[in-house]
Protein backbone atom coordinates (compact mmCIF):
# COMPACT_ATOMS: atom_id res chain seq x y z
CA UNK A 1 0.00 0.00 0.00
CA UNK A 2 1.31 3.44 -0.95
CA UNK A 3 0.40 6.20 1.51
CA UNK A 4 0.76 9.95 1.00
CA UNK A 5 0.48 12.42 3.88
CA UNK A 6 -0.89 15.95 3.67
CA UNK A 7 0.77 17.95 6.43
CA UNK A 8 3.81 15.69 6.56
CA UNK A 9 6.20 18.21 8.13
CA UNK A 10 4.06 18.85 11.22
CA UNK A 11 4.02 16.99 14.50
CA UNK A 12 1.22 14.68 13.43
CA UNK A 13 2.64 14.34 9.93
CA UNK A 14 5.93 13.02 11.24
CA UNK A 15 4.18 10.49 13.45
CA UNK A 16 2.01 9.42 10.51
CA UNK A 17 5.16 8.90 8.45
CA UNK A 18 6.69 6.73 11.18
CA UNK A 19 3.51 4.69 11.61
CA UNK A 20 3.15 4.25 7.85
CA UNK A 21 6.60 2.67 7.66
CA UNK A 22 5.98 0.65 10.84
CA UNK A 23 2.87 -0.83 9.19
CA UNK A 24 4.97 -2.00 6.24
CA UNK A 25 3.45 0.49 3.80
CA UNK A 26 5.32 2.69 1.33
CA UNK A 27 5.55 6.40 2.14
CA UNK A 28 5.19 8.14 -1.22
CA UNK A 29 5.53 11.77 -0.20
CA UNK A 30 3.61 14.61 1.35
CA UNK A 31 2.37 18.15 1.31
CA UNK A 32 3.67 20.97 3.48
CA UNK A 33 3.16 24.73 3.67
CA UNK A 34 6.96 24.97 3.63
CA UNK A 35 7.94 23.17 0.42
CA UNK A 36 11.64 23.71 1.13
CA UNK A 37 11.77 21.70 4.36
CA UNK A 38 14.96 19.61 4.05
CA UNK A 39 14.09 17.65 7.20
CA UNK A 40 10.71 16.38 5.97
CA UNK A 41 10.42 12.57 6.30
CA UNK A 42 9.53 12.16 2.60
CA UNK A 43 9.63 14.25 -0.60
CA UNK A 44 7.39 17.33 -0.55
CA UNK A 45 5.15 17.21 -3.61
CA UNK A 46 3.73 20.33 -5.28
CA UNK A 47 0.00 19.79 -4.81
CA UNK A 48 -2.75 17.40 -3.72
CA UNK A 49 -3.30 16.11 -7.28
CA UNK A 50 0.34 15.01 -7.54
CA UNK A 51 0.21 13.38 -4.11
CA UNK A 52 -2.97 11.49 -4.99
CA UNK A 53 -1.48 10.29 -8.28
CA UNK A 54 1.53 8.85 -6.45
CA UNK A 55 -0.49 7.18 -3.68
CA UNK A 56 -3.09 4.48 -3.11
CA UNK A 57 -4.55 6.50 -0.22
CA UNK A 58 -3.86 9.93 1.27
CA UNK A 59 -4.05 10.81 4.97
CA UNK A 60 -4.80 14.48 5.67
CA UNK A 61 -4.12 16.15 9.03
CA UNK A 62 -3.76 19.73 7.80
CA UNK A 63 -6.43 22.38 8.34
CA UNK A 64 -10.18 22.74 8.04
CA UNK A 65 -9.72 25.27 5.24
CA UNK A 66 -8.22 22.64 2.91
CA UNK A 67 -10.44 19.69 3.85
CA UNK A 68 -13.17 20.16 1.25
CA UNK A 69 -10.76 20.85 -1.63
CA UNK A 70 -8.61 17.83 -0.76
CA UNK A 71 -11.65 15.57 -0.43
CA UNK A 72 -12.95 16.77 -3.80
CA UNK A 73 -9.56 16.12 -5.40
CA UNK A 74 -9.59 12.57 -4.02
CA UNK A 75 -13.12 12.03 -5.32
CA UNK A 76 -12.17 13.31 -8.77
CA UNK A 77 -9.62 10.50 -9.19
CA UNK A 78 -11.41 7.89 -7.06
CA UNK A 79 -8.66 7.59 -4.44
CA UNK A 80 -9.47 6.67 -0.82
CA UNK A 81 -8.96 9.51 1.64
CA UNK A 82 -8.47 9.69 5.42
CA UNK A 83 -9.37 13.05 6.95
CA UNK A 84 -8.32 13.98 10.48
CA UNK A 85 -8.49 17.78 10.36
CA UNK A 86 -10.69 19.33 13.04
CA UNK A 87 -12.81 22.47 13.23
CA UNK A 88 -14.73 21.94 9.97
CA UNK A 89 -17.83 24.07 9.49
CA UNK A 90 -21.18 22.54 8.58
CA UNK A 91 -20.61 23.61 4.97
CA UNK A 92 -17.14 22.03 4.88
CA UNK A 93 -18.48 18.79 6.35
CA UNK A 94 -21.27 18.76 3.75
CA UNK A 95 -18.65 19.14 0.99
CA UNK A 96 -16.68 16.20 2.37
CA UNK A 97 -19.87 14.11 2.49
CA UNK A 98 -20.59 15.06 -1.12
CA UNK A 99 -17.12 13.95 -2.17
CA UNK A 100 -17.68 10.64 -0.39
CA UNK A 101 -20.42 9.83 -2.89
CA UNK A 102 -17.60 9.17 -5.40
CA UNK A 103 -14.82 7.71 -3.24
CA UNK A 104 -14.29 6.06 0.13
CA UNK A 105 -13.49 8.54 2.91
CA UNK A 106 -12.85 7.98 6.60
CA UNK A 107 -13.55 11.23 8.43
CA UNK A 108 -13.18 11.10 12.20
CA UNK A 109 -12.94 13.64 14.98
CA UNK A 110 -10.50 11.34 16.74
CA UNK A 111 -8.64 8.23 15.57
CA UNK A 112 -7.82 6.78 19.01
CA UNK A 113 -9.67 3.47 19.59
CA UNK A 114 -10.44 4.42 23.19
CA UNK A 115 -12.11 7.68 22.18
CA UNK A 116 -14.37 5.87 19.74
CA UNK A 117 -15.43 3.43 22.47
CA UNK A 118 -16.00 6.53 24.63
CA UNK A 119 -18.35 7.95 21.96
CA UNK A 120 -20.32 4.70 21.77
CA UNK A 121 -20.69 4.56 25.56
CA UNK A 122 -21.70 8.25 25.67
CA UNK A 123 -24.55 7.60 23.25
CA UNK A 124 -25.85 4.67 25.30
CA UNK A 125 -25.60 6.62 28.56
CA UNK A 126 -27.50 9.54 27.04
CA UNK A 127 -30.27 7.19 25.92
CA UNK A 128 -30.64 5.88 29.47
CA UNK A 129 -30.47 9.19 31.35
CA UNK A 130 -33.45 11.54 30.72
CA UNK A 131 -32.39 15.07 29.71
CA UNK A 132 -35.06 16.53 32.01
CA UNK A 133 -33.15 15.05 34.96
CA UNK A 134 -29.53 14.79 33.78
CA UNK A 135 -27.65 17.80 32.43
CA UNK A 136 -24.85 16.93 30.01
CA UNK A 137 -21.60 18.88 30.25
CA UNK A 138 -18.45 18.27 28.20
CA UNK A 139 -15.10 19.61 29.43
CA UNK A 140 -12.00 19.37 27.23
CA UNK A 141 -8.41 20.52 27.62
CA UNK A 142 -5.68 20.74 24.98
CA UNK A 143 -2.26 22.30 24.46
CA UNK A 144 -1.98 26.04 24.21
CA UNK A 145 -1.33 25.96 20.43
CA UNK A 146 -4.72 24.46 19.53
CA UNK A 147 -6.69 26.98 17.47
CA UNK A 148 -10.26 25.59 17.47
CA UNK A 149 -12.65 25.29 20.41
CA UNK A 150 -14.46 23.23 21.40
CA UNK A 151 -12.33 20.42 20.03
CA UNK A 152 -13.59 18.15 17.29
CA UNK A 153 -13.74 15.30 19.78
CA UNK A 154 -15.82 17.39 22.19
CA UNK A 155 -18.26 18.21 19.39
CA UNK A 156 -18.40 14.51 18.48
CA UNK A 157 -19.24 13.74 22.12
CA UNK A 158 -22.01 16.33 22.01
CA UNK A 159 -23.39 14.74 18.86
CA UNK A 160 -23.24 11.29 20.47
CA UNK A 161 -25.22 12.55 23.47
CA UNK A 162 -27.78 14.16 21.16
CA UNK A 163 -28.16 10.95 19.13
CA UNK A 164 -28.72 8.99 22.31
CA UNK A 165 -31.49 11.43 23.17
CA UNK A 166 -33.07 11.07 19.75
CA UNK A 167 -32.17 14.53 18.50
CA UNK A 168 -29.31 16.51 16.98
CA UNK A 169 -26.78 18.78 18.61
CA UNK A 170 -28.23 21.75 16.74
CA UNK A 171 -31.79 20.96 17.85
CA UNK A 172 -30.79 20.27 21.46
CA UNK A 173 -28.91 23.54 21.74
CA UNK A 174 -25.49 24.18 23.26
CA UNK A 175 -24.13 26.26 26.09
CA UNK A 176 -20.53 27.45 26.19
CA UNK A 177 -18.45 30.40 27.24
CA UNK A 178 -20.70 31.24 30.18
CA UNK A 179 -19.88 34.65 31.61
CA UNK A 180 -21.86 37.11 33.69
CA UNK A 181 -25.62 36.80 34.24
CA UNK A 182 -26.47 34.08 31.75
CA UNK A 183 -29.69 32.90 33.36
CA UNK A 184 -30.55 29.36 34.35
CA UNK A 185 -29.21 26.43 32.38
CA UNK A 186 -31.55 25.28 29.62
CA UNK A 187 -33.14 21.86 30.02
CA UNK A 188 -31.84 19.35 27.50
CA UNK A 189 -29.05 21.58 26.25
CA UNK A 190 -25.48 20.27 26.00
CA UNK A 191 -22.75 22.33 27.66
CA UNK A 192 -19.15 22.76 26.52
CA UNK A 193 -16.12 24.13 28.33
CA UNK A 194 -12.73 24.42 26.60
CA UNK A 195 -9.48 24.75 28.52
CA UNK A 196 -6.12 25.56 26.89
CA UNK A 197 -2.67 25.40 28.43
CA UNK A 198 0.70 23.75 28.51
CA UNK A 199 1.18 20.78 26.21
CA UNK A 200 -1.85 18.63 27.05
CA UNK A 201 -2.33 16.17 24.17
CA UNK A 202 -6.04 15.74 24.76
CA UNK A 203 -8.39 15.30 27.71
CA UNK A 204 -12.18 14.96 27.54
CA UNK A 205 -14.73 14.49 30.31
CA UNK A 206 -18.44 13.92 29.80
CA UNK A 207 -20.49 14.69 32.90
CA UNK A 208 -24.14 13.80 33.46
CA UNK A 209 -25.32 15.83 36.44
CA UNK A 210 -28.63 15.20 38.22
CA UNK A 211 -29.95 16.39 41.54
CA UNK A 212 -29.11 13.12 43.23
CA UNK A 213 -26.00 11.91 41.39
CA UNK A 214 -23.19 12.82 39.00
CA UNK A 215 -21.69 10.40 36.49
CA UNK A 216 -18.38 11.30 34.81
CA UNK A 217 -16.59 9.53 31.98
CA UNK A 218 -13.05 10.66 31.08
CA UNK A 219 -10.55 9.86 28.33
CA UNK A 220 -6.96 11.12 28.37
CA UNK A 221 -4.47 10.90 25.52
CA UNK A 222 -0.81 10.95 26.55
CA UNK A 223 0.82 10.51 23.14
CA UNK A 224 -0.29 11.79 19.72
CA UNK A 225 1.00 8.56 18.22
CA UNK A 226 -2.29 6.86 19.09
CA UNK A 227 -4.00 9.12 16.52
CA UNK A 228 -1.39 8.31 13.87
CA UNK A 229 -1.67 4.58 14.48
CA UNK A 230 -5.45 4.78 14.12
CA UNK A 231 -5.26 6.85 10.94
CA UNK A 232 -2.86 4.40 9.26
CA UNK A 233 -5.16 1.56 10.33
CA UNK A 234 -8.03 3.44 8.68
CA UNK A 235 -5.98 3.85 5.49
CA UNK A 236 -5.48 0.10 5.28
CA UNK A 237 -9.14 -0.58 5.99
CA UNK A 238 -10.19 1.68 3.11
CA UNK A 239 -8.53 -0.44 0.46
CA UNK A 240 -11.22 -1.88 -1.82
CA UNK A 241 -14.10 -0.12 -0.02
CA UNK A 242 -17.07 1.21 -1.92
CA UNK A 243 -17.59 4.99 -2.02
CA UNK A 244 -19.06 6.31 1.18
CA UNK A 245 -18.42 8.41 4.25
CA UNK A 246 -17.04 6.21 7.02
CA UNK A 247 -15.73 6.85 10.50
CA UNK A 248 -13.61 4.98 13.05
CA UNK A 249 -16.62 2.98 14.25
CA UNK A 250 -16.59 1.24 10.87
CA UNK A 251 -12.82 0.73 10.97
CA UNK A 252 -13.07 -0.81 14.46
CA UNK A 253 -16.00 -3.05 13.47
CA UNK A 254 -18.47 -1.12 15.64
CA UNK A 255 -20.56 0.44 12.87
The pLDDT, as a whole number, for residue 193 is 97
Q: Would residue 146 show up in a list of annotated catalytic residues for this protein?
A: yes
CATH superfamily of 113-221: Dihydrodipicolinate Reductase; domain 2 (3.30.360.10)
- The three-state secondary structure class of 168 is coil
* Alpha carbons 114 and 55: distance in angstroms, whole number: 29
Give the domain ranges of the chain: 2-111+224-251, 113-221
Catalytic residue chosen out of the listed positions 79, 142, 204, 219: 142
**Predicted TM-score of the model (pTM):** 0.86
Tens of pLDDT, residue by residue over 156-183, are 999 999 999 999 999 999 999 888 998 9
- The three-state secondary structure class of 29 is strand
* Alpha carbons 209 and 64: distance in angstroms, whole number: 33
Q: Would residue 250 show up in a list of annotated catalytic residues for this protein?
A: no
Has residue 42 got a pLDDT over 90? no
Q: Give the dihedral sign, CA 83/85/90/92.
A: negative
Give the ranges where 34-128 is alpha helix by DSSP (H): 48-54, 64-77, 90-99, 113-128
Range 2-111+224-251 classified under CATH 3.40.50.300:
no
Catalytic residue chosen out of the listed positions 63, 98, 146, 250: 146
Residue 65 CA, distance from chain mean position: 15
11 — phi, psi (to 5°)? -60, -50
The pLDDT, as a whole number, for residue 154 is 96
Amino acid sequence: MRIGIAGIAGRMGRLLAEETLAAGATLTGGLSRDAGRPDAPAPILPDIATLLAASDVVIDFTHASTAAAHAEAAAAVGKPFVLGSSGLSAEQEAAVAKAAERTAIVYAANFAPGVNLFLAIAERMAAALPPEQYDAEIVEMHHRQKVDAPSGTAVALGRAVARGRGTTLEAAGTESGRDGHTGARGTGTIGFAALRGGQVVGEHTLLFAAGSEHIALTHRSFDRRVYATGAVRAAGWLQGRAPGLYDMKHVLGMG
